[in-house]
């Protein structure tokens, strides 16, 4: 295959799940996308093992929703247990959650990446260059010149209007920009063991965290037929010895996992970090995914956070490519960095509870948690709302709704029943209780009007009727990433709500 050359609208660096999803979202909107990936072949081993219901919805928006059940399994729950097996935390997952998908699903990441790559291949204006490493970035007027080198040493250049660095924790793009990072200094070494079981076993709940000071241990699903065990390195323990397969089998054996009933797919150590890039945009170059943020794994939000980056950036970059002010992209940093920081800090908080190897400290921790009557069972919390950014500033608007991720239920449209996003459509959506006139068109934005009621959008599960009633709203304007731009209590204010959006897009 020839190397990167020519001119594209957007160059995406990195073909992991974040880069692939972002490329799809842009290609769906008709843009020419080039993806540069340094690995000649797809990475064969999983890193992430799960995604939540909001993330499943985002992936469905990239056109792969129908295939997700084939590579994932709904998780039943997530429990923390102390050394005696007492439940410290109990979160129960529903198979149909708030966003129309299971609250949590385990998955095999290589299968997800293969699915996304197949989806990318359906777009004629997408080019994927594997085995090419980005070695230079230079802005030249309204283009960024992306210099690459192939595995054979050949140099190539592609010109792009915008470049997105989705190239992981050791991001070349981030380093090339000279972007600083904020590191919370919270890190531990863990042994990761990916296992394929010879005989199907039932694990209830699907995911467990053993808060045992003798060896903190994580046990999670990793897609159909696979499990992952992770064991924390203890103080003073030799890291090289922990990396061996002998050490892996020794730690797995008490869990009923042995060479005669399982295959060890991988045994390796890794060090998690808690950090974020201080700057996510420099001119025509932006960061997303692990290039922009890293977090401990205990909340399962690493890949999910990266896919939120892609969903947020995709529609904004589309508008900028269509003529909106480039400053609109600054709201991407404002919105997603704040959310990522919150997720990172929450993951660190969980990690400080889990990564305790002192027996006395663990005993004090267990006693304090067990004394809390609200420790479970609980449902997972809703997706994190946006607190600032491209949100309605209408004085008469309903502040309580602003920034929330709108729920999803089944609706009936044109005699067919399905999930709202599939039946009504994606993009800007104006959800209303009555007839409205949306007024003059907004450049690049053509809101879908979804009126609840007979002959329009039938609310099969009552999700939207309850949602609007709870807000006291007559209309809610939802962004393409499913966050609420704004809501109003009177249909007469819909024009003002749309004018607010128009002003902000023009003044971004």
**Cβ distance 406 to 431 under 8 Å?**
yes
* 304 in Cβ contact with 51 (< 8 Å): yes
Sheet strands (E) in 83-154: 87-92, 104-107, 126-130, 132-140, 143-150
Nearest to residue 35, comparing CAs of 143, 163, 173? 163
Q: Do 127 and 27 fall within a single domain?
A: yes
pLDDT in tens, 83-142: 999 999 999 999 999 999 999 999 999 999 999 999 999 999 999 999 999 999 999 999
d(Cα 279, Cα 20) in Å, to the nearest integer? 22
Segment 322-361, tens digit of pLDDT: 999 999 999 999 999 999 999 999 999 999 999 999 999 9
Using CA atoms, how far residue 417 sits from 55, 62, 95, in Å, is 22, 21, 19
Q: Which domain holds residue 111?
A: 6-72+101-180+277-341
pLDDT band at 2 (very low <50, low <70, confident <90, very high): low
* Cα torsion 294, 333, 382, 366: sign: positive
- What residues form DSSP beta bridges with 157? 147
The confidence score (pLDDT) of residue 493 equals 96
| Residue pair 216/356 in contact by the 8 Å Cβ criterion | yes
- Would 217 be classed as within a structural domain? no
Of 308, 324, 341, the one marking the end of a domain is 341
Residues 420 and 331 in one domain: no
Q: Tell me the whole-structure pTM to 2 decimals.
A: 0.96
Neighbouring residues of 326: CB distance < 8 A, sequence distance ≥ 6: 320
Residue 90 is assigned to a structural domain of this protein: no
pLDDT of amino acid 1: 46
In a domain, 31, yes or no: yes
Pairing, β 207-211 against β 77-82:
parallel
What is the Cα–Cα distance from 228 to 266, expressed in whole angstroms?
10
Structural domain ending residue among the three candidates 288, 323, 341: 341
The per-residue pLDDT for 5 is 73
- pLDDT tens digits, 68-99: 999 999 999 999 999 999 999 999 999 999 99
Q: Residue 3 pLDDT > 80, yes or no?
A: no
Over the stretch 129-186, which tens digit does the pLDDT of each residue have?
999 999 999 999 999 999 999 999 999 999 999 999 999 999 999 999 999 999 999 9
Answer yes or no: is 87 within a domain: no
**Taking the CB of residue 39, how many other CB atoms lie within 10 A of it?**
14
Would you say residue 91 lies in a domain?
no
DSSP 3-state assignment of 171? coil
Q: What is the CA radius of gyration of the chain?
A: 24
pLDDT at position 439, please? Answer: 84
Angle at 238 between CA 234 and CA 243, to 5 degrees: 95
Average confidence (pLDDT) over 259-287:
96
Number of domains in the chain: 2
pLDDT at 440: 84
The CATH number linked to 291 is 3.50.50.60
Let me know if residue 218 belongs to a domain: no
Domain-embedded: residue 302: yes
Q: How far apart are CA 356 and CA 352, in angstroms?
A: 7
Pairing between β-strand 132-140 and β-strand 50-52 as defined by DSSP bridges: unpaired
171 shares its domain with 29: yes
CATH number at residue 459: 3.40.30
Check whether residue 333 and residue 451 sit in a common domain.
Answer: no
Residue 122 forms part of a structural domain? yes
Listed residue (27, 80, 26) closest to 317, CA to CA: 26
Tokens representing residue 492 in the block: 């007469």
- Maximum pairwise Cα distance, the chain: 70
- The structure tokens listed for 150 are 């192939």
Contact by Cβ (8 Å): 235, 215: no
Give residue-wise pLDDT tens across range 192-241.
999 999 998 899 999 999 999 999 999 999 988 899 999 999 999 999 99
Q: Are residues 172 and 302 in the same domain?
A: yes
Q: Sorting pLDDT into bands at 50, 70 and 90, what band is 365?
A: very high
* Residues whose CB is less than 8 angstroms from the CB of residue 395 and which lie 6 or more positions away in sequence, other chains included: none
Look at residues 254, 350, 295 and name the one whose alpha carbon lies nearest to residue 48. 295
Rounded percentage of the chain residues whose pLDDT exceeds 90: 93
Average pLDDT taken over every residue of the chain: 95
Of 321, 341, 361, which one is at a domain's C-terminal end?
Answer: 341
In this predicted model, what pLDDT tens digit does every residue of 373-418 receive, in sequence order? 888 799 999 999 999 999 999 999 999 999 999 999 999 999 999 9
């Amino acid at each position: 295959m020839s190397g990167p050359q020519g001119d594209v609208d957007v160059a995406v660096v990195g073909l992991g799940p974040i880069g692939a999803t972002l490329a799809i979202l842009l290609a769906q909107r008709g843009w020419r996308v080039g993806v540069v990936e340094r690995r000649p072949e797809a990475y064969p081993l999983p890193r992430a093992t799960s995604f939540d219901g909001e993330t499943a919805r985002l992936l469905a928006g990239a056109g792969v929703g129908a295939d997700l059940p084939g590579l994932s399994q709904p998780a039943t729950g997530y429990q923390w247990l102390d050394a005696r097996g007492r439940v410290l935390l109990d979160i129960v997952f529903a198979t149909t959650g708030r966003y129309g998908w299971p609250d949590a699903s385990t998955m095999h990441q290589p299968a997800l990446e293969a699915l996304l790559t197949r989806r990318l291949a359906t777009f004629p204006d997408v080019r994927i260059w594997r085995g090419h490493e980005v070695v230079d970035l230079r802005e030249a007027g309204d283009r960024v010149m992306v210099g690459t080198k192939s595995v054979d040493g050949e140099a190539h250049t592609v010109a792009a209007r915008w470049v997105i660095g989705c190239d992981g924790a050791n991001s070349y793009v981030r380093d090339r920009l000279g972007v600083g990072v904020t590191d919370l200094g919270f890190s531990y070494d863990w042994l990761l063991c990916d296992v394929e079981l010879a005989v199907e076993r039932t694990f209830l709940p699907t995911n467990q965290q053993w808060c045992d000071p003798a060896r903190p241990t994580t046990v999670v699903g990793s897609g159909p037929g696979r499990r992952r065990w992770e064991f924390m390195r203890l103080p003073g323990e030799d890291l090289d010895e922990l990396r061996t397969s002998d050490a892996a089998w020794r730690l797995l054996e008490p869990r009923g996992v042995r060479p005669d009933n399982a295959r060890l797919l991988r045994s390796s150590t890794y060090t998690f970090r808690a950090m974020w890039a201080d700057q996510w945009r420099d001119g025509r170059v932006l960061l997303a995914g692990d290039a922009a943020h890293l977090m401990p794994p205990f909340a399962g939000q690493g890949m999910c956070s990266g896919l939120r980056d892609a969903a947020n950036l995709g529609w904004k970059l589309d508008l900028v490519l269509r003529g909106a002010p480039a400053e609109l992209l600054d709201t991407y940093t404002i919105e997603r960095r704040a959310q990522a920081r919150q997720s990172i800090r929450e993951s660190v908080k969980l990690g400080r509870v889990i990564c305790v190897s002192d027996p006395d400290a663990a005993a004090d921790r267990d006693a304090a948690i067990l004394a809390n009557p609200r420790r479970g069972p609980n449902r997972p919390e809703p997706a994190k709302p946006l607190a600032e950014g491209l949100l309605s500033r209408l004085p008469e608007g309903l502040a309580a709704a602003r920034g929330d991720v709108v729920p999803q239920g089944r609706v009936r449209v044109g005699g067919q029943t399905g999930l709202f996003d599939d039946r009504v459509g994606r993009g800007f959506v104006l959800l209303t209780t009555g007839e409205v006139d949306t007024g003059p068109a907004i450049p690049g934005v053509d809101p879908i009007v979804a009126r609840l009621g007979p002959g329009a959008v039938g609310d099969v599960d009552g999700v939207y009727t309850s949602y609007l009633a709870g807000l006291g709203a007559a209309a809610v304007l939802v962004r393409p990433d499913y966050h609420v731009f704004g809501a109003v209590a009177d249909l007469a204010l819909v024009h003002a709500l749309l004018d607010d959006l128009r002003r902000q897009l023009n003044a971004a």
